[in-house]
Amino acid sequence: MSEKRDYYEVLEVSKDANTEEIRKAYRKAALKFHPDRNPDDAAAETKFKEATEAYSVLSDEQKRAQYDRFGHAGMGGGFDFQQAGMGDILSQFQDLFSDFFGGFGGFGGQRRRRGPERGQDVRVEAQITLKDAFEGTKHEVGIRGSAPCDTCNGTGAAEGTRAERCAQCGGNGQVTTQRGFIMFSTTCPRCRGTGEQIAKPCADCSGTRYVEKKRKVLVTFPAGIDSGQTLRVPGQGMPGPANGVPGDLYVDVVLEEDERFQRDGHDLVARREISFPEAALGTEITVELPDGASVAAEVPAGTQPGTVISIRGKGMPRLDGRGRGDLHVVTEVAVPKKLTRRAKKLLEELEAELAEANGKAQTA
């Protein structure tokens, strides 16, 4: 273990600093290095633990006096800050933290609870097609992270062996020693506080019980789901250390672009080409929905380019199951680029006819 730094040095106060100065110094350090402000920053966590340890001693008159006389050797006591998890520290010293953070160590309040530390939440992104969103689907989502080792079933012991109670501490994780007239207990150096000893560690996880691996989680995407929405899968985040509850998995949904449809909330918009005669005479068209089903729509005679034909209740399903949005078909009138001789002649006749009819209409 590395050499412990002097507590006064850690808090950057002088040896004769008063209670208020020590309190202020710790508050400054704790706010700066608090894990909620420095997620996944091991160096900050170490500093936070160091400062907390220093403050837990220097803020207590008796402990401070003992530390002043005997230094670190006089402390020895029970709690190993650098080995302990953040959750342990925050719950063990909640009285100390409540002074500063208005309760329970975390800035958010209820994030930290008593009892074993909860595993971390995991956030992933998943792309789905419009068809998936239309029908609802189940998809496997890949996650990288630590998971219980399969080889040893999470025990850390090699096949055919198992974890034994630690011989040095008898399984309670702490050893008590006497130095001079002071009795103190420390984390068992042999099992590092776990109370267990693994004679022959599992080769795959080196006895750590967890391995880094890719695992797949089957996620249900309900019909009607859209980009920007997040699904929560309870218990599929990181495993909790030491029997803690696992975290949750959050899946951010991204809807892929679709060639045929644009989505507008619960509505679907499709473009559809019709010929000039169809637009003029009226026709019936069928539109294939994302799930393959088709719906018929009436195109009335005299339909203009860009007219929107809306079909109620044929859009995307609503997430709450209360019906569906609408389908809007934007009509595009196709103008032929190549004409046969006969088609050209017919169009010329049509033009003459329309001009005459138009003239009659205007003089009438």
- 191 touching Zn ion, by CB under 5 A: yes
- If DSSP codes are grouped into helix, strand and coil, which group holds residue 180? coil
Maximum pairwise Cα distance, the chain: 123
| The one among 128, 166, 251, 297 contacting Zn ion by CB under 5 A | 166
Nearest to Zn ion of 137, 161 (CB atom)? 161
- Is the dihedral angle over the CA atoms 332, 337, 343, 346 positive or is it negative? positive
Shortest reach from residue 239's CB to Zn ion, in Å: 13
Q: List the x/- string, 24-43, binding to Zn ion by CB under 5 A.
A: --------------------
- The binder of Zn ion chosen from 46, 98, 127, 168 (CB under 5 A): 168
**Minimum CB distance to Zn ion, residue 215 (Å):** 15
DSSP bridge partners of 172: none
Q: Which two tokens stand for residue 143?
A: 């996650």
User: Is residue 268 near Zn ion by the rule CB under 5 A?
Assistant: no
Token output for 93: 């010293």
Separation of alpha carbons 144 and 189, rounded Å: 32
CB of 241 to Zn ion, least distance (A): 16
Minimum distance between the CB of residue 42 and Zn ion, rounded to whole angstroms?
24
Residue 200 near Zn ion by CB under 5 A: no
Alpha-carbon distance of 144 to 201, in angstroms, equals 24
Q: Is 190 an interacting residue with respect to Zn ion (CB under 5 A)?
A: yes
Residue whose CB is less far from Zn ion, 141 or 169: 169
- Are the beta carbons of 333 and 281 closer than 8 angstroms? no
- Pick the stretch among 49-57, 77-85, 184-192, 237-245 that binds Zn ion (CB under 5 A): 184-192
Binding-site member from 75, 122, 188, 329 for Zn ion (CB under 5 A): 188
Identity of the residue, 166 or 274, whose beta carbon is nearer to Zn ion in the bound complex: 166
- CB-side neighbour CA atoms (13 Å) of 50: 20
Smaller CB separation from Zn ion, 82 or 186: 186
For the bound state, the minimum distance from the C-beta of residue 176 to Zn ion, rounded and expressed in Å, comes to 12
From candidates 90, 122, 141, 169, binder to Zn ion by CB under 5 A: 169
Choice between 85 and 171, CB closer to Zn ion: 171
With beta carbons less than 8 A apart as the criterion, state whether 234 and 327 touch: no
- From CA 264, how far away is CA 227, in angstroms rounded? 11
Taking alpha carbons only, the member of 116, 144, 145, 154 closest to residue 245 is 116
Among 96, 152, 225, 329, binds Zn ion (CB under 5 A): 152
Secondary structure of the chain: what % helix, strand, coil (to 5)? 30, 25, 45
Which part of the chain contacts Zn ion (CB under 5 A), choosing from 62-70, 132-140, 180-188, 341-349? 180-188
Q: What count of other Cβ atoms lies within 10 Å of the Cβ of residue 20?
A: 8
124 three-state secondary structure: strand
**Tokens at residue 101, please?**
């953070």
Interaction of residue 204 with Zn ion, rule CB under 5 A? yes
Complex with Zn ion: residue 130 or 166, whichever CB lies closer = 166
CA separation (Å) from 339 to 25, 88, 179, 272, 343? 88, 83, 106, 22, 6
Q: How many residues bind Zn ion (CB under 5 A)?
A: 12
Contact flag: residue 202 with Zn ion (CB under 5 A): yes
Query: Using CB under 5 A, which residues numbered 91 to 150 contact Zn ion?
Result: 149
* Beta carbon of residue 35, minimum distance to Zn ion (angstroms, whole number): 27
Please report, as ranges, the residues that interact with Zn ion according to CB under 5 A: 149, 151-152, 166, 168-169, 188, 190-191, 202, 204-205
